[in-house]
Chain A
Amino acid sequence: MVHAFLLHGTAMLLDVYSGAVHVVDQMVVDIVQLFEQCTKQEILSQLQEKYTSDALEEGYEEVAILKQQGLLFAQDSYEAIATQFDQPTVVKALCLHIAHDCNLRCKYCFAETGSFHGSRSMMQLDVGKAAIDFVIEKSGNRKNIEIDFFGGEPLMNFEVVKQIVHYAKQQGEQAGKHFRFTITTNGMLLNADNSAFINEHMVNVVLSLDGDKQVNDAMRPRIDGSGTYDRIVPMFRQLAKERAHQGYFVRGTFTSQNLEFAKDVLHLADLGFEQISVEPVVAPDDKHYALKEAHLPILFLEYEKLAQAFVERSQAGQGFHFFHFALDLSGGPCAQKRLKGCGSGYEYLAVTPEGDLYPCHQFVGNTQLKMGDVFEKTIDASISKSFRERNVYTQTTCKDCWAKFYCSGGCPANAHQLNGDMDKPYEVGCALMKKRIECALWIKAMLG
């Protein structure tokens, strides 16, 4: 399978099964599109009006050589191994819902502004400790374990966060496990003390900020409706500086209310942030801020604009990292990761303040998918199996998709939420995923 695309006038080919990437001229694109169905003579005669026969001969030869080298039209060696990875459920990451409450009222919040469709509550230390014991027991011989402190707003319950970190480090040492902590915060309660703790103990921090003051404050107000930008930006800058701009990112959300998100990303870069991620909101069509298919052309242009600016800034020595454009072509993740993605429901589980287990943070509150609890140390085998068995080949749309080894089959929670089926990926999400991968490949071509 070969995917051809054109970006800012550069034609490119991605050979899906080998991972090879080529910059080509339009003639090669035309040849490649006919290559597998037609003989050489047929191709030459079909294209003779557009190109000279010498050029066509050359182009054809070059395509044929790359095919022989396995760099074009490579065979699929993944489908056969996709099913070989069924291993027992080994949990290696937990999302701890430290606080089912929040001090903001973000309009697009999937967690019902912190309550997750239930009542507002805080995780107590005994639940946190039980979660640590649970993951140590269920992580088999995995050494690295990740704990993400999530909410609601986890800083509303930060004492418990601190104690869980200490407990996990202690228990991990005894059990031969290495814990990595991450936290997501809206920044409202950041201060010198908790920033210092975060910078000492957390390998990654996600700082939520959508863009400039107007964009951010429209979607991310306080409970009283006032804005948050002025309060959080200085705290975020300080925190990023204190961690030497490593292991954090400023993460925003774009919606139909700020389709022109490229300027928001550049605004974040102008504020001095070096690690930036913005994400499309995921919401059903009836929400006023939802992204719809009709928005795609504008969003594609925004990605292209941003890619251009990204290249220009990198070349001028003012580069920043943008998550959607990060793509490791030379190494990257292993086959298992590419085929299965996030691991929700079997490698990664979410724990509610009460200690209930769910396949991931986005399924919390969907009681049909409650998988057990950390005190009983049970994991529902059939729910876990249904997640474990999924891979890009079990989902028909993904199986034939050129982006599958970079996307890994999308987010099952979004598919479930919007299409009522975990195996039916959310179309707007797919379109944006493909666009961002094309941009990332183009950037590689530009920056070498």
Chain B
Amino acid sequence: MKHIKTISTACLKDSAAHGGCGECQTSCQSACKTSCTVGNQKCEK
């Protein structure tokens, strides 16, 4: 494509199907704590 360069494709679609196992780390967004953007978390699977 000349006008568009895709740097990432549809990962959200895939994750919509699974639900979640809940084994991942908790993520707190507050200033006083770990403040993960949820988007930077890893899945345990």
- A383 an interface residue at 8 Å Cβ cutoff? no
Q: Are B42 and A331 in contact (CB under 8 A)?
A: yes
Nearest-Cβ distance from residue B19 to partner chain A, whole angstroms: 6
A293-333 vs B: 1/0 string, CB under 8 Å? Answer: 00000000000000000000000000000011011111111
Q: A90-B22, A142-B22 are in contact. Are A282 and B31 (CB under 8 A)?
A: yes
Q: Are A406 and B23 in contact (CB under 8 A)?
A: no
Determine which of B31, B36, B37 lies in contact with A437 in the assembled complex, contact meaning CB atoms within 8 Å: B37
A-B contact count, CB below 8 Å? 214
Q: Are B29 and A342 in contact (CB under 8 A)?
A: yes
List B contacts of A448 (CB < 8 A): 7
Nearest-Cβ distance from residue B5 to partner chain A, whole angstroms: 5
Nearest-Cβ distance from residue A425 to partner chain B, whole angstroms: 10
A135-179 vs B: 1/0 string, CB under 8 Å? Answer: 000000011101010100000000000000000000000000000
List A contacts of B33 (CB < 8 A): 148, 150, 184, 206, 361
Q: Are B15 and A334 in contact (CB under 8 A)?
A: yes
List B contacts of A406 (CB < 8 A): 37-39
Q: A18-B12, A146-B26 are in contact. Are A335 and B35 (CB under 8 A)?
A: no
Most A Cβ at <10 Å: residue of B15, B25, B31, B37: B31
A420-448 vs B: 1/0 string, CB under 8 Å? Answer: 00000000000001001100100011001
Alpha-carbon distance between A206 and B7 when the two chains are bound, in angstroms: 32
Nearest-Cβ distance from residue B2 to partner chain A, whole angstroms: 6
Q: Are A444 and B7 in contact (CB under 8 A)?
A: yes
B5-40 vs A: 1/0 string, CB under 8 Å? Answer: 111111111011111111111111111111111111
Q: Are A28 and B19 in contact (CB under 8 A)?
A: no
A51-70 vs B: 1/0 string, CB under 8 Å? Answer: 00001001100110110001
B interface size (C-beta, 8 A)? 43
Q: A18-B10, A329-B11 are in contact. Are A360 and B2 (CB under 8 A)?
A: no
Tell which of A38-46, A211-219, A264-272, A410-418 binds the partner: A410-418
Q: Are A19 and B27 in contact (CB under 8 A)?
A: no
List A contacts of B5 (CB < 8 A): 22-24
List B contacts of A190 (CB < 8 A): none
Determine which of B9, B12, B21, B32 lies in contact with A17 in the assembled complex, contact meaning CB atoms within 8 Å: B12
B30's nearest neighbour on chain A, judged by CB, is: A411
A332's nearest neighbour on chain B, judged by CB, is: B39
Q: A142-B23, A361-B33 are in contact. Are A28 and B9 (CB under 8 A)?
A: no
- Known contacts A408-B38, A448-B7, then 10 further A-B pairs from the complex at CB < 8 Å, ordered by chain A residue: A19-B11, A22-B6, A144-B23, A182-B34, A249-B34, A251-B35, A277-B35, A333-B24, A342-B29, A408-B29
Chain A positions within 8 Å of B, measured between CB atoms, are: 15, 17-25, 27-28, 55, 58-59, 62-63, 65-66, 70-71, 74, 77-78, 81, 84-85, 90, 92-93, 110-111, 142-144, 146, 148, 150, 180, 182, 184, 204, 206, 249, 251, 253, 277, 279-282, 323-324, 326-338, 341-344, 347-348, 360-362, 405-408, 410-411, 413-414, 433, 436-437, 440, 444-445, 448
Chain B positions within 8 Å of A, measured between CB atoms, are: 1-13, 15-44
